[in-house]
Homo-oligomer: A and B are copies of this chain.
Amino acid sequence: MKKKEQHLLKQLMYPSSIAFWGASNNPMKMGTMQLTNVLETGYQGEVYPVHPTEETVLGIPAYRSISDVHKPVDLAQLTLPTEVVPGILDECGRAGIKRAIVISGGFKEVVGDRGKQLERQVREIAGKYGIRFLGPNCVGILNSLCSLNSTTIPRPPMGGKIAFASQSGAYTAMINPLLRAQGMKMCQTISVGNEADIDLTDCLEYLKDEPEVKAVGLYVETIRRPREFVMAARETIREKPVVAIYVGGTEAGSRSSLSHTGALSGPDKVYDGLFRQAGVIRALDLDQMLDMLWILSSQPLPAGRRMAVITNSGGPGSSLAYHIERAGLSVPLFSDELAARLDAATGPLAFVRNPIDLTFDTNMFIFKELLEIVFESGEVDGAFIYGIFGPEFMVNLEKRFPGLHEMMSDWVTDYVGFLEGLAEVPRACGKPTVVMSFMGAGSATIGPLIGLDVPVYPSAVRAAQAMRSLLDYRLARESG
């Protein structure tokens, strides 16, 4: 049997050695920031800074030229003035380097012919030596699976099961605070820039076969090879969902894309059709894309649209019911039989017909039992929970009740056990479950829950739209 050929991005994303151009001992240079981040993140491969004058860069021996390195180099990253890029890429080719990331801007995306001419030149040189490259006009890569961060952004939250390939460099890099705020992590990110060579379609083909990646996000200003994109996406969604942001579909959006990556965009409807054909779920913006990727990478797919709402507070319950229905899902009235079972399990003030509203006084540890009852009934395909609170409510009390923390230590143990049990139910029953909470990822309530792979959303509308994306994925995959 013929061994499957390694995808061209494999060597680029998992390089054993990298040569850097543009890093120096000036901390204000982009290249210096990138190399600093590579060193800080714990990358285990070899690193060769190439610099015309410095003996060392960031404490590492530097080389006058790539021809001085005399060792195999898997990847070249070029953060250089536009005009010198073709010459250096030629040197890379002569040194036998086959993969490159061209960070430099000033090519096709700028006004005038010179940039376009230079980009053509870069492509020709790459073609001559068989170099496959990302960019130009990109920000680098992140691969938590080999602890590599070649962007300027320090300390990204690395890990998790989500990958992101983007025509916006800013979005790949600046996504980090959003991820951190939600307790999410990024497994791999690829900034494709102007896509003079490697494009989003290549990224899809590559990410499809990355086993640790469970969901893929794309930021799209244009699709350069629509036919190949649709094929690659349809192949990918057999394995894992794909969510795309597209912002080229208005007049000013299109004008902006053209000046950004030289991309020719099309009207919203054209791209909606393209994504539908490809089985790709469209997200409005980065925050919604992350909301969707979170549930898509962590929860089982729903068999249908019927959702349970379990809450200990009326407002969030009503909001969830409303937004679930607005998202095209349903909140069915429970049968008498199911209501009777729930009645037996809950207090006298509870409403149990869906939403199940326990009202404030009730012990929330009952959430797990209720979730099991509604899932076992067969009357719903998924669930939303509001009302999980952890040790935070003790903040002010501790000062006046000095023994409180110890007094509550059993409760805190029970609480963690409760969360672990709760997080198991969706997997055991094969039905997706999300939590709505205003507490942040850093809180003692929500932090552990996120660690147990339960997506937590700060509003009803976001929770509902995320759940809807899970159904959309199932339907797209089935129609493929």
The answer to whether B105 and A287 touch across the interface, beta carbons within 8 angstroms, is no
**Chain B contacts of A251 at CB under 8 A?**
325, 331
Contact of A357 among B169, B259, B392 (CB under 8 A): B259
**Chain B contacts of A313 at CB under 8 A?**
168-170, 174
Stretch from A45-53, A94-102, A232-240, A436-444 contacting the other chain: A436-444
Interface size class of A (residues with CB under 8 A): 35 or more
**Chain B contacts of A401 at CB under 8 A?**
27
A417 CA to B31 CA, complexed, in Å: 28
**Chain B contacts of A175 at CB under 8 A?**
438
Which of A111, A256, A395 has most B Cβ within 10 Å?
Answer: A256
* Distance from A277 Cβ to chain B, minimum over Cβ atoms (Å): 21
* Distance from A104 Cβ to chain B, minimum over Cβ atoms (Å): 10
* Distance from A467 Cβ to chain B, minimum over Cβ atoms (Å): 14
Q: Does any Cβ of B come within 8 Å of A36's Cβ?
A: yes
A257 CA to B349 CA, complexed, in Å: 15
Stretch from A314-322, A418-426, A468-476 contacting the other chain: A314-322
**Chain B contacts of A333 at CB under 8 A?**
255
Within 8 A of B (CB), among A428-467: 438-440, 443, 458-462
* Distance from A351 Cβ to chain B, minimum over Cβ atoms (Å): 4
A238 CA to B292 CA, complexed, in Å: 40
- Using an 8 Å CB-CB cutoff, how does the interface string of A255-293 with B read, 1 for contact, 0 for none? 111011100000000000000000000001111100000
Which of A40, A177, A357 has most B Cβ within 10 Å?
Answer: A177
Q: A315-B167, A353-B255, A401-B27 are in contact. Are A174 and B438 (CB under 8 A)?
A: yes
- Using an 8 Å CB-CB cutoff, how does the interface string of A12-37 with B read, 1 for contact, 0 for none? 00000000000000010010110011
**Chain B contacts of A36 at CB under 8 A?**
396-397, 400
